[in-house]
Amino acid sequence: MTGIALIISFILAILIMIFMIAKLKVHPFLALMSISLALALIAGIPLTKIPVMVGAGFSGTFKSIGIVIIFGAIIGMVLEKTGAALKLADMVVKLVGQKRPELAMLIMGWVVGIPVFCDSGFVVLNPIREAIQKKIAANPVGTAVALSAGLYAAHVFIPPTPGPIAVAGGLGLEHNLLLVILMGIAVSIPVLIASYLFAKFIGKRVILQDDANDELIAQGYEDLLKKYGTLPNGFLSLAPIFVPIILMALGSITKISGATGDIANFILFLGNPIIALGIGLIFAIILIFQCGKISEFETLTNDTLKLVGPILFITAAGGVLGKVIVEAGFVEYIKENAHIISSAGIFFPFIISAILKTAQGSSTVAMITTAAIMGMFNVDDSLMSALGLTSEIAAALTVMAIAAGAMCVSHANDSYYWVVTNFSKMTPQQGYRTQTTLTFIMGIVGISTVYVLSLVLL
| Model confidence at 216: pLDDT above 50 | no
> Which has more confidence, 335 or 193?
193
Torsion sign, CA atoms 6, 10, 15, 20: positive
Predicted confidence at residue 211, as pLDDT, reads 47
3-17, 330-344, 360-374: which range is least confident on average?
A: 330-344
Predicted confidence at residue 171, as pLDDT, reads 94
Predicted confidence at residue 328, as pLDDT, reads 80
Q: How many Å apart are CA 440 and CA 278, to the nearest integer?
A: 36
Predicted confidence at residue 337, as pLDDT, reads 65
Q: What is the dihedral of CA 434, 435, 438, 443, to 10 degrees?
A: -160
- Rounded to an integer, what is the distance from CA 351 to the centroid of its chain? 17
The answer to whether 172 touches 377, Cβ cutoff 8 Å, is yes
Predicted confidence at residue 450, as pLDDT, reads 98
Phi, psi of 88 (to 5 degrees): -60, -40
pTM, two decimals, is: 0.80
Predicted confidence at residue 220, as pLDDT, reads 57
Instruction: Name the residue among 427, 380, 453, 369 with its Cα closest to residue 39.
Output: 369
> Which has more confidence, 96 or 247?
247
245-254, 292-301, 328-337, 355-364: which range is least confident on average?
A: 328-337
Instruction: Name the residue among 245, 316, 267, 290 with its Cα closest to residue 72.
Output: 245
Mean pLDDT across 182-186: 96
SS (H, E, C) the chain: CCHHHHHHHHHHHHHHHHHHHHCCCCCHHHHHHHHHHHHHHHCCCCCCCHHHHHHHHHHHHHHHHHHHHHHHHHHHHHHHHCCHHHHHHHHHHHHHCCCCHHHHHHHHHHHHHCCCCHHHHHHHHHHHHHHHHHHHCCCHHHHHHHHHHHHHHHHHHCCCCHHHHHHHHHCCCCCCHHHHHHHHHHHHHHHHHHHHHHHHHHHCCCCCCCCCCHHHHHHHHHHHHHHHCCCCCHHHHHHHHHHHHHHHHHHHHHHHHCCCCHHHHHHHHHHCHHHHHHHHHHHHHHHHHHCCCHHHHHHHHHHHHHHHHHHHHHHHHHHHHHHHHHHCCHHHHHHHCHHHHCCCCCHHHHHHHHHHHHHHCCHHHHHHHHHHHHCCCCCCCCHHHHCCCCCHHHHHHHHHHHHHHCCCCCCCCCHHHHHHHHHCCCCHHHHHHHHHHHHHHHHHHHHHHHHHHHHHHC
Q: Which residues contact 341 (CB under 8 A, 6 or more apart)?
A: 334, 348, 386, 387
> pLDDT, tens digit, for every residue of 415-456?
899 899 888 889 888 999 999 999 999 999 999 999 999 999
> pLDDT, tens digit, for every residue of 109-129?
999 888 888 888 887 788 778
| Model confidence at 322: pLDDT above 80 | no
Mean pLDDT across 234-253: 89
| Model confidence at 4: pLDDT above 70 | yes
Cis peptide leading into residue 409 (ω within 30°): yes
% of residues, the chain, pLDDT over 90: 38
The answer to whether 301 touches 74, Cβ cutoff 8 Å, is yes
Predicted confidence at residue 43, as pLDDT, reads 85
| Model confidence at 81: pLDDT above 80 | yes
% of residues, the chain, pLDDT over 70: 91
- Rounded to an integer, what is the distance from CA 179 to the centroid of its chain? 15
Mean pLDDT of the chain: 86
